[in-house]
Amino acid sequence: MSGYAARTGFADREPALPPTALADMVAGLYGAMAVLVALREVETKRGRGQVIDLPLLDPLFSFIATEAAIYRLTGEVRERTGSRSETTSPRNVFRTKDGRYIGISASIQAMAERLFRAIGREDMLADPRFRTNTDRVRNAEQCEAPIVAFIAARTLAENMEVFERAEVTAAPVYDIDQFMADPHVIAREILVDLPDAEMGDLPMHNVIPRLSATPGRLRSPAPALGEHTAEVLSTLGLDDATIAKLARDGVIGLAGDVP
């Protein structure tokens, strides 16, 4: 409904929905910011608490808000462009010889020239179809053809060695197995293992963001269903006998009762 999915995917196929609860996540970030702003209002101006009006629709639309102005200006609904950009070229995802993918965004003139030299096609710099960014956007498919061929003839590691040496803005499009094995991910401890009754260890993303003085830490994994029921009810004044009776009567579930 936000229009986000209509901009995602390829023109000759159906729109692509995000594979995650993107609207919930975006709204959550806006919500965290709103809470901080509201608290700051109380702290600095001795204000009162506020009601935060935060649906799922508005935050997700903010990601593509420029579409409204473009439509008002042109009167046209833009087609989906896949991984290409409508304003810079070359910019796309390319398949490697070993079935992996690399994302490249040569968005400035110097980077495009660096990329052409890296793949041995310095001649493209003199071709009027690719001389400027506007030319390249207009001829995106022809511009990408030699890049496609170069990357397809090499493995991910071989390609990345070339692009890193040439300082080209290229990066692997990681599957989760690659992400978990990456030295940078490991060094930053982006993933942490927490004990889990069924898996032994459960990998979870670390605290984000990390503050210098109060970086925070994950103290425990998510509780099992009913794990804290007795604890919560006891703080409300229920004694052990009452809680046990509620469990026997099926009114509540305790951790040991959940299959």
* All domains in the chain, ordered by first residue: 5-74 (no CATH), 91-173 (3.30.1540.10), 174-217 (no CATH), 223-259 (no CATH)
Catalytic site includes residue 24: yes
The chain-wide mean pLDDT, for the chain, equals 93
Both tokens of 74, joined, read 């042109």
pLDDT at 225 over 90: no
Q: What is the pLDDT of residue 259?
A: 44
Mean pLDDT, residues 110-125 taken together = 97
Banded pLDDT at 47 (limits 50, 70, 90): confident
SS3 208: coil
pLDDT at 132 over 70: yes
Regarding pTM above 0.85, the answer is no
Taking Cα atoms as reference points, which of 65, 43, 61, 39 lies closest to residue 52?
A: 39
Quick one: what percent of the chain has pLDDT higher than 70? 98
Q: From the candidates 12, 24, 135, 201, which is the catalytic residue?
A: 24
Residue 234's Cα: distance from chain center in Å?
Answer: 41
Both tokens of 148, joined, read 């496609």
94 compared with 254, residue with greater pLDDT:
94
Detail the DSSP E strand segments found in the chain.
Answer: 91-95, 101-105, 170-172, 191-196, 200-205
Mean pLDDT, residues 40-65 taken together = 92
